[in-house]
Amino acid sequence: MNATTEYQYILEQYPIYITKDQMYRVCHISKKTCLFLLKSGLVPCLDSGKKTRRFKIKTTDVIHYLEDRELHPEHYKPPEGYYKQPHIPQARALSEHDLLVMRQFYEKELASWPDVMTIKQVSAFTGYGKTSVERWCTKGHLQHFFIKQKYLVPKIYLLDFIMSWAYIGIAVKSDLHIQRNKRIWAQAKTQP
């Protein structure tokens, strides 16, 4: 294919094959639009199916896309609603009984822990990383004291946080959080 002088610089600047990251930069499009073009076959590519460096795209195919997009922009538009966030199911509705069972469960779990906990201890108790715990503190979700460059969390504040939707509604839960939820729901079913 003979590239027009307008896109000749792309052939000079890039190798025969480019990656998805290079393509979206060359074409001045978003990553999501680029993914749509590659997955739909509107821009031919080799798809390895890997998580990284998944797509291998001929530079000449990218130039052909750029030229054709100028003539037929509607042909390359993603379907209606493509850019909207995927539907995230709402957290299980909790009754007053569920919340009571949950609070009693966590009070028992926290009984052997110190009254004031460090970030490391909160991380160990919840199963989330230290950076997540620090983020909860800095965003104001988890009340704490900041003394001598350290976050200190009273146990009662941690319990309040665990009972809040900021914790209950975490989308990607830790394994420990999931295990405890299973035990809590089992208890909630057996207790009147």
Number of folded domains in the chain?
2
Domain assignment of residue 83, yes or no: no
Same domain, 58 and 102: no
Residues 6+ apart with CB under 8 A from 43: 23, 37, 57, 61, 62, 65
Share of the chain above pLDDT 70, in %: 92
Residue 98 predicted with pLDDT over 50: yes
The tokens for 114 are 């110190």
Percent of the chain residues topping a pLDDT of 90 = 52
pLDDT score of 109 more than 80: yes
* Whether residue 185 is found in the same domain as residue 100: yes
**Residue 54: left (phi > 0), alpha (psi -120 to 50), or beta?**
alpha
Q: What is the CATH number of the domain that holds 66?
A: 1.10.1660
Q: Are residues 114 and 50 in the same domain?
A: no
Please give the residue range of the domain that contains residue 115: 96-190
Task: Return the structure tokens found at 41.
Answer: 């076959």
